[in-house]
Amino acid sequence: MGKKVIISVISDLATDQRVNRSAQTLHSNGWEVLLIGRQLPNSPEMDQRPYKVKRFRLWFNSGVLFYLNYNLRLFWHLLTHSFDVAFSNDLDTLPANFIASRLKNKILVYDSHEYFTGVPELVNRKFKRSIWRFAERLLVPSIKYLFTVNKSIAELYKNELNVDFKVMRNVPDVHSLQLEDKMIFRIKNELPVDKFIYIIQGSGINIQRGSEEAVEAMQFLDAVLLIVGSGDVIDLLKEKVKVLSLEEKVIFRPRMPYAEMMQYTYASDAGLSLDKDTNINYRFSLPNKLFDYIHAGIPVLVSDLTEIRNIVDGYNIGLITDTHEPKQLANWMNKMQDAELIYVWKLGLKKAAKDLNWHKEKEVLLSTFRNFE
């Protein structure tokens, strides 16, 4: 049996693709992996994984008691179980990992999936944000092995904490996906076969990410918007669809396993990623769905954000909108249906998919873990 790594994340393990990719990769390279997360009342069933999984049922599901509850459970587990490496994902799992790894003199690896203290939930909550910033400044500078999701966030941490994060992007591992023919899938799943379909997908369909305006834009388009996933704005979107009588133009599908979600993405014609520049975390975001769209071979319409622009312009795979005003956004969405542009974008998408994949990106992770063998 190889060395043991305990990977912890506070999200729902069933849908967190980044930690699953890390766990799969380490398992395939001889590590004994235990992945720890949490289980909510509405958590979907876990798919079959080749590594061990543990989900905590907690007494609290939000607020300070939730974070305390999770970290105490995690700390006790780390303290009472053997491991060689503690692999902490995001700042909300770091306290337990940091203390346990120090007490047991074990290696600590930290992966920041975002600029944590810049998330929208903390922007206007100064006291809570100050606590997380204090924890970050206290713990992170003494950690040797650090990852984050893109160059912009790595530079932010370098400027603020004087630490070097390796960049490990959220690119998918799609080599094993078996995708069904687009039209057959549409027919079987009651999607229109004669309409251009735009898609917004993922588990972060939240406020200020452009989905509200995309729904309103559908008033001006002869097309369909497919919304697949979950987030805090879904109920608002459903109400907006009802008020605007867009039931024939906007179709909702719930959160689902990654392979199934990718089939819906593949069956669509264009992907939308419309995050607004309302906070530093969105400004430097590089969403998973952008890479999912690339690997599904569909062109994208995106908002003008630094990291996203670099990908879309660099590979010429779609359009960049300078507005979220619904009628103008509809004009941008309409341009996505141009057959000549689609042909050019498809060429760029093939190159992007070849370059931006986990088969290449996982070397960032493995190059670090070879130090521990």
Q: DSSP alpha helices (H): ranges in 146-195?
A: 151-161, 182-188
Mean pLDDT value across residues 246-272: 94
Return all residues near 282 (Cβ < 8 A) that are at least 6 apart.
120, 208, 209, 275, 276, 305
The per-residue pLDDT for 338 is 97
Distance of CA 366 to the CA centre of its chain: 21
Mean pLDDT value across residues 148-167: 95
Q: What tokens were used for 90?
A: 């995001």
The per-residue pLDDT for 208 is 83
Residue 188: how many CA atoms within 13 Å on its side-chain side? 9
The per-residue pLDDT for 120 is 67
Helix, strand and coil in the chain, % to nearest 5: 50, 20, 35
The per-residue pLDDT for 79 is 96
Cβ–Cβ under 8 Å, residues 171 and 286: no
Mean pLDDT value across residues 136-164: 95
Confidence band (pLDDT; 50, 70, 90) for 280?
confident
Q: DSSP alpha helices (H): ranges in 195-338?
A: 211-217, 234-243, 258-266, 280-283, 288-296, 306-315, 326-335
**pLDDT for residue 123 is more than 70:** no
Residue percentage of the chain with pLDDT more than 90: 72
Q: Each residue of 35-73: b (16+ CB within 10 Å) or e? A: bbbbeeeebeeeeeeebebbbeebeeeeeeebbebbbeb
Q: Which domains does the chain have, with CATH numbers?
A: 4-173+358-372 (3.40.50.2000), 182-355 (3.40.50.2000)
**pLDDT for residue 1 is more than 80:** no
More confident residue, 58 or 221: 221
The per-residue pLDDT for 95 is 96
**pLDDT for residue 349 is more than 90:** yes
Q: What tokens were used for 98?
A: 């940091």
172: left (phi over 0), alpha (psi -120 to 50) or beta: beta
Q: Global pTM?
A: 0.86
Mean pLDDT value across residues 41-62: 82
Q: Each residue of 110-141: b (16+ CB within 10 Å) or e? A: bbbbbbbbbbbebeeeeeebeebbebbeebbe
Confidence band (pLDDT; 50, 70, 90) for 115?
confident
**pLDDT for residue 76 is more than 90:** yes
CA dist 327 and 333 (Å) reads 10
Mean pLDDT value across residues 137-159: 95
Confidence band (pLDDT; 50, 70, 90) for 372?
very high
* Listed range (118-132, 203-217, 276-290) with the worst mean pLDDT: 118-132
Looking at the DSSP assignment, which residues form a beta bridge with residue 321? Answer: 303
- pLDDT tens per residue, range 167-208: 999 898 876 677 889 999 999 999 999 999 999 998 888 888
**pLDDT for residue 367 is more than 60:** yes
Looking at every residue in the chain, the average pLDDT score rounds to: 92
Select, from the ranges 43-52, 63-72, 195-204, 317-326, the one with the highest average predicted confidence (pLDDT).
317-326
CA dist 116 and 129 (Å) reads 9
Cβ–Cβ under 8 Å, residues 227 and 237: yes
Q: DSSP alpha helices (H): ranges in the chain?
A: 17-28, 63-80, 94-103, 120-123, 126-139, 151-161, 182-188, 211-217, 234-243, 258-266, 280-283, 288-296, 306-315, 326-335, 339-355, 358-369
Quote the crossing angle between the two packed helices 126-139 and 94-103, to the nearest 10°: 30
Q: What tokens were used for 186?
A: 């549409």
The per-residue pLDDT for 175 is 66
Mean pLDDT value across residues 103-128: 84
Quote the crossing angle between the two packed helices 339-355 and 306-315, to the nearest 10°: 110
* Listed range (213-217, 330-334, 369-373) with the worst mean pLDDT: 369-373
CA dist 16 and 68 (Å) reads 21
Cα distance between the two ends of the chain = 12
The per-residue pLDDT for 98 is 98
Residue percentage of the chain with pLDDT more than 70: 97
Instruction: Find, among 263, 284, 281, the residue nearest to 199 by Cα.
Output: 263
* Listed range (118-122, 234-238, 297-301) with the worst mean pLDDT: 118-122
